[in-house]
Amino acid sequence: MTTPMIRGLRGATTCASDTPEEIIAATQELLKMLMKRNNLMHDDVVSVVFTTSPDLTSAFPATAARGVGFGDIPLLCASEIDVPGSMPRCIRVLMHVYTLRPRTEIRHVYLRNAQSLRDDLPE
């Protein structure tokens, strides 16, 4: 049997506005898609780091993650660097997971307007 490796999954999405409902919906959509595209189970997730652009302040993405069952997983939120011209209303994620997939088969997920951040990745 092959031993699972710890891999990092990246993703991002955007919100239409800075409201708790938008942040929760966008974050939950992103997490569900990362799990689905990488065929992950809850116990595969080690930890999750979220960042938000400085214009998203009405809710923590970690709150949204707890709403889809991530309450027992270490979660951390931080603010992105306020770089001029960067993507507005953006939520980014770095998820650490156990997986048997090689690095070349990891499926990073970029949704909504954040798709333009990594147009080099397969759908």
| 7 part of the active site | no
> Is residue 92 annotated as a catalytic residue, yes or no?
yes
List 29, 37, 66, 98, catalytic entry: 66
| Known catalytic residue at 66 | yes
Burial of 23: CB neighbours in 10 Å, binned 0-12, 13-18, 19+ = buried
The angle formed by the CA atoms of residues 52, 58 and 84, to the nearest 5 degrees, is 40
Q: Which of 7, 89, 90, 92 is catalytic?
A: 92
- Residue 77: closest CA among 27, 21, 14: 27
Of the residues 29, 37, 77, 98, only one is catalytic, namely 77
Question: What residues contact residue 19 under an 8 Å CB cut-off, 6+ apart?
Answer: 58, 59
Catalytic residue among 7, 22, 90, 110: 110
Q: Which of 80, 98, 107, 112 is catalytic?
A: 80
Question: Quick check: is 29 catalytic?
Answer: no
Q: At a CB cut-off of 8 Å and minimum separation 6, what does 112 contact?
A: 13, 14, 26
Which residues does the annotation mark as catalytic?
Answer: 10, 66, 77, 80, 92, 110, 118
